[in-house]
Amino acid sequence: MEKSKKIILIFLLIFGFCKKSEVKKKEEKLSGFEKIHLIESRGETKSFELFAKNVVDEEDSVFLYDFKVIFYDSQGVKTGELTGDSGWINKKNLNILARKNVILKHERESLFTEEIVWIDSLKIAKSDKDVIFYHENNVTYGKGFITGKNLKEIIIRGRVKGGGE
């Protein structure tokens, strides 16, 4: 009888530890949000606006799903839009990585690719992926691009072909 009591006690202790670790895992889960609108500003001037259907907030990053970012220059004038199926924002430097079905729009120009990096400190976007660039009634295909500050110009880097070469 004494042996069965020890087994039951050991079983209860093990079960108790397992239950505690389950609770800890639940506390470590990421916090998620749906349909958000966030405005990042420097003083009273907007730097960018973020719209997303789903967001997961982690310690150093915010993961985005089905999102759009509107960029503004130092005077608060809209300079462009970035949309993507998924991506993330680095909370420390506000750099953005957009992935899958990514579109960058500036005035009457549109660029399509699979991945874009926004470097907030320089106010530029770039990629090394294949791109399709629609501009001035022309289409240019290439491999990679970089923009000027505040998306003022788009430079296709390699394998350029099409109108506006």
CATH 2.60.450.10 fits 31-162, yes or no: yes
pLDDT of 161 above 50: yes
Domain segments of the chain as ranges: 31-162
Residues 42-97: tens digit of each pLDDT? 788 888 898 999 888 888 888 999 999 999 988 889 999 999 999 999 989 999 99
At residue 163 the predicted structure's pLDDT band, cuts being 50, 70 and 90, is low
Residues 6+ apart with CB under 8 A from 62: 55, 56, 88, 89, 91
Q: Is the pTM value of this prediction over 0.85?
A: no
- DSSP per-residue letters across 5-58: HHHHHHHHHHHHHHHHHHHHHHHHSPEEEEEEEEEEEETTEEEEEEEEEEEEE-
Question: What are the strands, taking DSSP E only, across 73-135?
Answer: 78-90, 96-106, 109-119, 124-135
